[in-house]
Structure 1
Amino acid sequence: MSLSEKQLIAIEKLVMGCNHQEAANAAGVARSTIYRWCDQGEFQEALKRAKERIFKGHSQAIDSYKQALLEAVKHSSDCINVLLEIAKNPDT
């Protein structure tokens, strides 16, 4: 059995942080249907995979931000020194 379009919509909404009622509204089904789907193995697996993809994407973004922040911190003292020099000698 493959997931229906409504189930895929519900999974997308649940992964985005919507509650069961919001997911149900978006998928055009009753909230009880979302609960029933959440008890089904195939839906559970698809929801788990979707959450893992989101987590992996966020982890990669965090790693990128962390690297950028480390670079900024590494050069921050040089930048501060240049700014101080400009403040002390605005004509140069």
Structure 2
Amino acid sequence: LIHILVASPETYGRANELLIRYVASSNPTAMPNVLVSNFVDSAKSFGFEVNSRAFNYFLNAYIKERKTDFAVDCINLMVELGVIPFVRYVN
């Protein structure tokens, strides 16, 4: 679903809200390596491009939940995958 939502500017906000709700409601909070791995695997399985916008939304969700360590892990995973984080979220 995230892959579809980040494909259109009309649904960017919904994708972001969905990930924020998911991270906020997960107990315990979903680890970045699990989220990112699942996201990349599903993108490959269904022929979607690995979109940096979705990674930025993951990062935003962790930051909003004050999960700084998870946000840093997310940035590191993005760098490992060659995905450039949006500067606003990195700051």
TM-score (norm 1): 0.29
Structure ranking higher in helix proportion: 1
Larger relative contact order, structure 1 or 2 (CA cutoff 8 Å, min sep 6)? 2
